[in-house]
Amino acid sequence: MPHLVRERLFIGNIGDAAEVLQLGTSDITHMLSVLSSESISFFSEWRSGLIIPSKEIKKVYVGGTGCDLASESDYVDGSKSSLSPEKLLYSLEYAGNGLKVERMAVPLRDMENEDLLDYLNVCYDFIERGRKEGSVLVHCFAGVSRSAAIITAYLMRNEQLSLEGESYNRGEKINISKLGADPGLSREVASEVQSSQQVDFSHARAYRCKKCRRLVALLENVVDHIPGEGETSFDWYKRKSGNPFNKSEEPECSSIFVEPLRWMTGVEEGALEGKLSCAHCEARLGYFNWSGIQCSCGSWITPAFQLHKSRVDISTV
């Protein structure tokens, strides 16, 4: 089953896409297929020869430089005329047994020398429109590279995310100045901030390691997120045995998410993901992942630096 990335946005592989069209679903109204030219026709001929009807809307080509869109006069009955450019940018069609799933097919091979930049704008517009009109499934063949790259680019633009995680993907140690101050480094931290900002921190919320009571985060370090839809956000985990995630009885999120802080050694060392352990007693406090973590409420936080509430005590400074 497709994986939920954001509200009304899913990621999956070619099998997930075929299953949506064969079995039908009310969840997906738009589908972005990022596949090689040879695989794009899989909706018409899939595995055992099952034919899934489709109705072509249009095809759009670009010139040799990948810049200028061809005009509609370059097309005759949906086909490219002799005057039109050579490169297919995308095609649009309605596909799938009367389900009226609108599908955009982008011909892109799973190779390192393929250039995504020519396709990002049209993919962004399609995903954005699809989320407004319904829900979008973005898929490639395996669901781990091309589709993930398109969704990452979409989220960076849509949510104004930065490239701060770039060095982590390469495993490089980052400049410690990019991380937030360690609130537990000394007891003078809170008093210094209080005197400089004339703010009363005597009742400020603080999060401490449950094992050794070391201060690990302040309320100002917490990254708020909009609660998800609870148990329904985990529908893609369901199997015949039922849903192992039963969140219906939880009144609130089971974790808090904070900004990256200087006591997080794994983060500083450039890991993409890993455990968050107390800097004093090394007790496990949570987990971090620059690609994101889904909260128990169903909301997806990216990047994510997660502290489990069961591992920390909430007190005042």
DSSP 274-317: EEEE-TTT--EEEEEETT-EE-TTS-EESSEEEEEGGGEEEEE-
> Residue 266: is it exposed, middle or buried by C-beta count within 10 angstroms (0-12/13-18/19+)?
middle
Within 10 A of 289 (CB to CB), how many other CB atoms are there?
18
Q: Are 106 and 32 in contact (CB under 8 A)?
A: yes
Cα 235 to the center of its chain, rounded Å? 17
Catalytic residue among 67, 123, 140, 297: 140
Residue 52 structure tokens: 């899934």
Coil, helix or strand for 269? coil
Residue 140 annotated to the active site: yes
- 153 and 116 Cβ atoms separated by less than 8 Å: yes
Long-range contacts of residues 226-229, Cβ cutoff 8 Å, at least 24 apart: 226/299, 227/253, 227/297, 227/298, 227/299, 228/7, 228/294, 228/295, 228/297, 228/298, 228/299, 228/300, 229/7, 229/298
> Which residues are tagged catalytic?
140
